[in-house]
């Protein structure tokens, strides 16, 4: 007697149970408004955690960048008094494509704000190094403000290198954002 039909039947039964279990997930029964509220709350909590972590890390002169691009140089780097670590994780990269307000996106956004504040204060080496690392680590990173439309990280980098006029406003607003973040979440 062959075990192949038995194994096939068991496999099909297992897959049917998985499909049934998948359709029985409580989240699938929630109202869309409740799910959106949950997603937005999670994004706000991730942002607050990123703010707390980054303000403390910056004070301790150690920074982390989360890479979602395989082209990023990962590892540990030194820029002046700062230790910088670029970390790549495949799950983070894959999930980040569809996540709303994921921690690593919030964190990298804050690193961009910190880098711009460093540039605005004349600390060009650190600011430019961080922006270059961010551009490689998260090529789709954007900066925006209520007063300005989104600027892609690559355009920010080019604008800084070419000393474009629009960058002055970006640096000014980002420096203000960083000061506000320090006031609210800093050590």
pLDDT at 47 over 80: yes
User: To 5 degrees, how large is the angle CA 124–CA 129–CA 131?
Assistant: 95
Q: What is the pLDDT of residues 128-159, one digit of tens each?
A: 999 999 999 999 999 988 877 899 999 999 99
Q: What is the pLDDT of residues 166-179, one digit of tens each?
A: 899 999 999 999 99
pLDDT at 2 over 60: no
Question: Which residues share a beta bridge with 142?
Answer: 152
What contacts 68, CB < 8 A, 6 or more positions away?
A: 88, 92, 93, 96, 104, 137, 138
pTM: 0.82
């Amino acid at each position: 007697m062959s075990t192949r039909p038995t194994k096939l039947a068991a496999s099909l039964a297992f897959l049917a149970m998985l499909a049934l279990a998948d359709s029985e997930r409580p989240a699938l029964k929630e109202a869309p408004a409740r799910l959106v509220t949950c997603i937005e709350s999670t994004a706000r909590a991730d942002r607050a955690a990123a703010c707390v972590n980054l303000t403390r890390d910056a004070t301790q002169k150690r920074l982390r960048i989360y890479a979602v691009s395989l082209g990023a140089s990962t590892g540990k780097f030194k820029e002046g008094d700062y230790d910088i670590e670029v970390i790549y994780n495949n799950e983070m990269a894959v999930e980040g494509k569809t996540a709303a307000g994921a921690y690593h996106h919030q964190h990298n956004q804050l690193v961009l704000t910190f880098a711009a504040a460093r540039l605005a204060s004349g600390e060009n080496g650190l600011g430019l190094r961080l922006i270059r690392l961010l551009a490689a680590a998260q090529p789709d990173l954007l900066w925006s403000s209520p007063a300005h439309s989104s600027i892609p990280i690559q355009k920010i980098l080019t604008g800084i290198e070419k000393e474009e006029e629009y960058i002055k406003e970006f640096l000014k607003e980002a420096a203000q954002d960083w000061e506000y973040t320090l006031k609210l979440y800093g050590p």
